[in-house]
Amino acid sequence: PRELPSEPLERGFAVQKSQRSVTVADLERVLREAPNPANSSQSFAGGDLVLVDLLVAAPVQRHFVVIEDPLPAGLEAIDASLATASAELDLEARAAQGASAGTEPSRFQTSWFRQELRDDRVLFFVDHMPAGIYHYRYLARATTLGRFVVPPTRVEEMYQPEVFARSAAGHVEVR
């Protein structure tokens, strides 16, 4: 398209995306903080670790939901399940450790999901999503210098595509 959407659109869901630079040393503290879209950054240094937070609101129960977050060309999602990845970057393991350590409960709903990391996008598949607000996150690395388009994040009910939401498109700079 010649122009990407500049305004979010809500048709049965709501979605917000935020991204910020983190260090491995600060990751534990940052993961305990609530996501704040106002603190989202649009500029990163090459090699930065980027934490991406997605907030999804479902006003009523939904089934078979897909959350698609396209990556800007300058970022690459980190697959912590690979043997070559550092265990410190495994967000799922950190969340499980926090839950077993008795940390304070989350204010977000929980629902089983499956995550897929692809070259150009990150996908979350949720079978059953009761009404509430959900928080999904992943790590990416700023790999390529330049200014890149950030396509809109999209949430939809797979078998009812008229029930969806998308965020606004934007830009990100890796310097």
Q: How many CA within 13 A on the CB side of residue 37?
A: 9
Residue 43, token pair as written in the block: 């500029």
Strand order in the sheet with 75-77: 14-22, 49-58, 132-142, 75-77
Using 70 as the pLDDT threshold, list the residues of the chain that sit under it: 87, 93-106
Rounded to whole angstroms, what are the CA distances from 90 to 32, 76, 85, 138, 161? 15, 15, 8, 9, 32
pTM exceeds 0.85, yes or no = yes
pLDDT of residue 106: 62
The torsion region of residue 120 among left (phi > 0), alpha (psi -120 to 50) and beta comes to: alpha
Rounded to whole angstroms, what are the CA distances from 5 to 65, 167, 171? 22, 8, 12
From 45, 20, 42, select the one nearest 31 (Cα to Cα): 20
pLDDT of residue 87: 67
